[in-house]
Amino acid sequence: MNAEVRDGISIEHETFGDPSDPPLLLVMGLGFQLIHWDREFCEGLAERGFLVIRFDNRDCGLSTKVRGGPRPNVLAAAAGFTGSRSYTLWDMADDTAALLDHLELPTAHVAGVSMGGMIAQSLAINHPGRVLSLASMLSTTGNRRVGLPRMRALAVILRGAPSDRDAFVNFSVRVQKVIGSRQWLDEARTRRQAGEAYDRCHYPIGVMRQLVAIQTSGDRTEQLRRLDLPTVVLHGTKDPLVPPRAGRATAAAIPGAHLVELEGMAHDVPRQMWRQVIDAIVENTSRAARPQASVG
């Protein structure tokens, strides 16, 4: 389903589960589409009693693409210059709030991975009454001192995706081998998912704009200290892109946050870890009041 949720911004989204169940909004990471929340993972959460919502962020998938504006300059953004920025993580968080408005959901549990965790944090900060519980996964506070990636991981992200389909699929496998959990790598699945993503929408400049947004949206640490909601922080112990200390800093910043470090996991959520991740998200939601709204 695609809907204009606010002026100029349309968001592609899908739901799983019973509309009368509490809503759980899943926010995906840099350049990844809603299909990267595996259908089976979403169905697993729905079976635990949630209306699960997955969606494409702006500049990705079938949601609105930014047209015109400055060409993203990742190196300049990393140096603190904001001139090539088209939007911020705060704008993307407002998109998610507008999606909840469209779905007539005043509140929701929210889980975000990587950049999606940053967006989820921003949503909780700017729209505190709307987030029932927060799961921040493989993410960071925006403080560069705790979130610097290993150079090899950063290099593969900055290289940029090729335009040819076969080359893109091969590139996706190389990326997964660098930043993902190599002991659980399913290359056939990675190739299949990369091909599906390419066929659905291949838009590399959107990835660069999202990356500039990450780099120029500031440090959320002090704002996170003022949050008052059930929070779980999940992080892989082998994450080379967003190091484990970034997860620890996130948990330290949010009062009462529970830190779950997933042994051997890198910057992905492999099938072998789904049960632990789902259990942690569900346990965290149980600490919040049950919402009353349903999709209209």
Q: What is the CATH number of the domain that holds 181?
A: 3.40.50.1820
Is residue 296 in a domain? no
Q: What mean pLDDT do residues 234-244 have?
A: 96
Is residue 113 in a domain? yes
- Structure confidence at residue 295 (pLDDT): 45
Is residue 294 in a domain? no
Judge whether residue 132 has pLDDT over 50.
Answer: yes
- Structure confidence at residue 289 (pLDDT): 62
Q: Find the domain containing 281 and state its range.
A: 2-285
pTM (two decimals): 0.95
Judge whether residue 230 has pLDDT over 90.
Answer: yes
SS3 267: coil
Is residue 291 in a domain? no
Is residue 248 in a domain? yes
Contact 238, 99 (CB under 8 A): no
- Structure confidence at residue 292 (pLDDT): 42
Q: What are phi and psi of 202, to 5 degrees?
A: -115, 110
- Structure confidence at residue 68 (pLDDT): 83
Judge whether residue 203 has pLDDT over 60.
Answer: yes
Task: Determine if residue 169 is left, alpha or beta; phi over 0 gives left, psi from -120 to 50 gives alpha, anything else beta.
Answer: alpha
**Number of structural domains the chain divides into:** 1
Judge whether residue 166 has pLDDT over 60.
Answer: yes
Is residue 38 in a domain? yes
How does residue 154 score in pLDDT terms, banded at 50, 70 and 90? confident
**Rounded distance between C-alpha atoms, residue 247 and residue 113, angstroms:** 11
Is residue 292 in a domain? no
Is residue 86 in a domain? yes
Share the mean pLDDT of the chain: 94
